[in-house]
Amino acid sequence: MTEPRLITRRDFLVTSALAAAGTTLGLAAAETAPEPLIDIHQHTDYGGERDAEWNIIKPGRPNAPLVAHQRAMGVTKTILLPAGSRLRRPSTHQGRANGLDSTCSGNEECYALAKAHPGEFYFGANEVSDLESAPKEIEKYLKLGAVIIGEQKFGVECDSPEMQKLFQLAAAYNVPIVMHWQVKSYNYGFERFYKMLEKYPKTNFIGHAQTFWANADAGYKDDENNLYPKGKVTPGGRSDRYLSDYPNMFGDLSAGSGLNALKRDANGRTFIERHQDKLMFGSDCTDTIGRGGSCSGAMQIAQLRALAPSKTVERKLLYENANKLFRF
């Protein structure tokens, strides 16, 4: 049997010094650890090219650059929003919209990437709204753990029977549904949508895109040729009222539309303060850098940090609101 070595006074002092140094380094690491940040809006195979017939001729961003992009932005949890089935029908504008106006891929690709990065990436469930099989396809992935329905970006009436089936499904699985609002292109009838908010109070809706954010301004008139309005904002537009009046309405700040809405005038700061419990960061950008002026996600993070009236509100926008809604 080996005899235990006696610990000398010198050993004790060295060991104590190393332990103290380790504790100091540990505290320093904890102090400099990045704050958690949730991105509720990204896509796989995003940003490629399609021809006049909407066939993919250049693939979008591969998974490895996507993962690197999210990490460069400082995102700790990302939600991947799939496209619908590649079909040519009026609701997909004959093939344009099933790739979400890009080369975005579908349910299986988002599911696979999320499973390859558990705890860092999560997946949604989606399908072309007016397909008879849409509820079944979406429910398949909800059962696998999808945390959201959408991005619903199809040429359908927002209150159609087919859409209402999806609203019911979202409530049944207690997941939100994100809708891309774009006048005369996607989810028609934004002015009537309050009826759906009232009819389905247990469904959490997330508003996104040009028509949603342009309508934060009471002076805006729906116009497919003016999707990114400039100038002074008059509070009290439809989106502003929906967020104020309905507990089940939330806002996705992603892409150029969200970026534009907050920088138009000083109302951006007051809008954030007014809806601080309803707004969530999303990127929805196609670049591979994750920083600088080419990345709308990185620019939105910087803008939210500049406009948030306090650190408490900043954390709500970048993390806490999404963490609460998605129950991570």
Cα atoms in the Cβ-side hemisphere of radius 13 Å centred on 310: 6
Write down the H helix ranges in 144-254: 161-173, 194-199, 210-214, 238-245
Tokens 């934060």 locate to 216
**pLDDT attached to residue 99:** 93
Residues 78 and 96: their CA atoms lie apart, in Å, by 25
Contact (Cβ atoms closer than 8 angstroms) between residue 134 and residue 177: no
**pLDDT attached to residue 33:** 63
**Roughly what angle, to the nearest 10 degrees, separates helices 267-274 and 296-307?**
80
Structure confidence by residue, pLDDT tens digits, 51-77: 988 889 999 999 999 999 999 999 999
For every residue of 255-288, which 3-state class applies, written as one string? HHHHHHHHHCCCHHHHHHHHCCCCEECCCCCCCC
Fold of 36-326: TIM Barrel (3.20.20)
pTM: 0.89
Strands (E), the chain: 38-42, 49-50, 56-58, 77-80, 121-123, 149-152, 177-180, 205-208, 249-252, 279-280
**pLDDT attached to residue 32:** 53
Instruction: Identify the segments of the chain with pLDDT beneath 50.
Output: 1-31
**pLDDT attached to residue 20:** 43
Residues 185 and 163: their CA atoms lie apart, in Å, by 16
Residues 54 and 300: their CA atoms lie apart, in Å, by 30
Residues 103 and 314: their CA atoms lie apart, in Å, by 32
29: left (phi over 0), alpha (psi -120 to 50) or beta: alpha
**pLDDT attached to residue 292:** 87
